[in-house]
Amino acid sequence: MKPVAGLGQLKSLDDLTNRSGWPHSLFSTDGLPRAAALDIIDTAREMVGVGRRRVKKLPTLRGRTVINAFFENSTRTRVSFELAGKRMGADVINFSASASSGAKGETLGDTARTLAAMNPDLIVIRHPDGGAPWFLRERVGCAVINAGDGINEHPTQALLDALTLMEQLGDLEGRTVAIVGDVAHSRVARSNIHLLHTLGANVVCVSPSTMRPAQMDLALKAQWTDDLDALLPRCDAVMMLRIQRERLRESLFPHNREFAIRFGLNPRRADLLPSHGIILHPGPMNRGVEIEPAVADGDRAMILSQVENGVAVRMALQLMLLGRSES
């Protein structure tokens, strides 16, 4: 049996937590069933409560082993996965590219075989190459979670963003969400577009023409515009993206100042949102470029809620992928 894109073979939360056979993996939000996404989000709501207790530990995954394999730099995602695993009672091992054999020239295939020989229950992988989680899953006998692969996908970020949106807006059916900035190089944007469409939201991407994915605007279920001011009054939420400088081979706009003037979210633009409109940012932020400090630190910004919800979503996923130990 081979796992499919999205959450392989998911039927229900009970089905997952009671099964001890075929391990499931989360690769993508493209093809993730609506029922599966809502199950994850509902379970994550419960985990938010766990994170606010005085004792933030659950014994659910005691005896399970989780390896966080990060081949790209990360703060929020890596720490979030580590904290999620430890709060669920799992044994968590972390390694990064700079401290791994990959820095010495070892291939991902050899790394995969080495990790598989250690018999982990789950591997969380972030890698600069698109498709790396699928490649890894074919070579290990455990569940795999995609924590970001190149510019392809970042499914757990989309799930935590959806949780944050639903906390503030309720059902997303018919809601309008703007995704603004460097869409072409953003795996966050891709995963959000897929998931928000599945949840019934209308997604409108706002970017310079040089930051719009070539041909992908035909495949992604979103509308496209370059007029942010005209769009904001009809948005329920706006998600700002940083410029992915580490992925740029050339400058795609003359200067940060020009980008901020045309596409940055400043207090004047934030006031164009409806009274219930909220602001998200996956981080890290480039303050003064895609978002002004006064907006990032304002009451409408849900950025710290996204961070809290990130731990909850990753706790929920580890529960749903691994379930309770049978031993």
3-state DSSP of 209-235:
HHHCCCCHHHHCCCEEECCHHHHHHHC
**Of residues 245, 255, 267, 256, the one with CA closest to residue 290:** 256
Angstrom distance (rounded) from CA 179 to CA 182 = 9
242 is catalytic: no
Rg of the chain, C-alpha, whole Å = 19
Exactly one of 137, 154, 194, 300 is catalytic; name it.
Answer: 154
Active site residue 175: no
Would you call 76 a catalytic residue per the annotation?
yes
Q: What are the backbone dihedrals phi and psi of residue 121, each rounded to the nearest 5 degrees, phi first? A: -95, -25
Q: Which two tokens stand for residue 200?
A: 């019934």
Distance CA 164, CA 162 (A): 5
Q: How far apart are CA 128 and CA 298, in angstroms?
A: 33
Give yes or no: 2 in active site: no
**How many residues does the structure list for the chain?**
327
- Candidate list 77, 111, 164, 198, residue with the active-site label: 77
Catalytic-role residue among 64, 78, 126, 185: 126
Q: Quote the DSSP letter at residue 7.
A: B
* Separation CA 145–CA 73 (nearest Å): 17
Q: Is 104 a catalytic residue?
A: yes
The residues annotated as belonging to the active site are 76-77, 104, 126, 154
